[in-house]
Amino acid sequence: MKSFFRMSYPYILWIALFIVAPMLMILLYAVTRSGNGTITFHFTLENFARFLSDPTFLKVLWTSLRIALITTVVCILIGYPAALFIANLPEKRQTLMILLLTLPMWINMLLKTYAWRGILMNFEIESEIKVFIGMVYDFLPYMIIQIHTAIAKLDRELLTAAYDLGANRGKAFLKVTLPLSVPGIISGITLVFLPAVSSFVIPKLLGGGNYVLIGNLIETYFLVAGDWNFGSAISLIMALIIIGSMYLTKKLDTGAEEE
């Protein structure tokens, strides 16, 4: 057992250097003000108060949450029928369809966004709609794959039993397939909502530079304004929202599995 535990040392070191240390740096910048010396730190909560008291920043946060929520709902509405269709195909065709679905995911997201930018620039569409299209295109495969995995694992004997007890296709779907596929839906929500709420490449390229989400705000204060303290405070607030969302989806997933 000890030898197996020693094999985890490189991963622990990796996590400490590239996850824990950067998060501690963000936390330190968020609770201090600019102009700190190498030894003396001036701790403050002004960065958080500045964000939470400014209606402009709160509007950007609300817009980010709204865009991510709508994107997630659209991905569910499109992804569930697609996943159900794929799951009802013969096994070889399922494999082929999943392969075709994952092929676009092998391409860099930046390249795909530039491609959509070239397509959508020929149409008179609002910037928000363009952002929606880009986000749904990029995140939809994650939703389909998660739901398909949940449906494919269903015991077909349960549907047979439902039909034997007099249920039609619609009732069998509502009473058997849909409840048992809820864990897949929740996993899909996690994989779509969390990256969508913090996305900055898609809004920046498809929004024409005039559509700002929370990710763009963080990028601006780090790379343009050079205010790392305020940028870190926004990042920390965003991290807390993401952690809260993950906790909520985990609770929903646990409740669904218990039912």
* pLDDT computed for residue 76 by the predictor: 95
**Structural domains for the chain:** 57-258 (1.10.3720.10)
Tokens of 66: 């709204």
Q: What share of the chain is helix, strand, coil (3-state, %, to 5)?
A: 80, 0, 20
User: Which H helix or E strand runs over 245?
Assistant: helix 228-258
Backbone angles phi and psi of 79, in degrees to 5: -75, -35
Backbone angles phi and psi of 208, in degrees to 5: 70, 20
Q: How many Cβ atoms sit within 10 Å of the Cβ of residue 144?
A: 25
Q: What pLDDT tens digit does each residue of the chain (259 aa) get?
A: 566 667 777 888 888 888 888 888 888 888 888 766 556 677 888 999 999 998 999 999 999 999 999 999 999 999 999 999 999 888 889 989 999 988 888 888 888 999 999 888 888 888 889 999 999 999 999 999 999 999 988 887 887 788 777 778 888 888 888 888 888 999 999 999 989 998 888 998 888 767 788 888 998 898 888 888 999 999 999 888 888 888 888 777 676 666 6
pTM of the full structure: 0.86
* pLDDT computed for residue 17 by the predictor: 87
Helix (H, G, I), strand (E, B) or coil at 32: strand
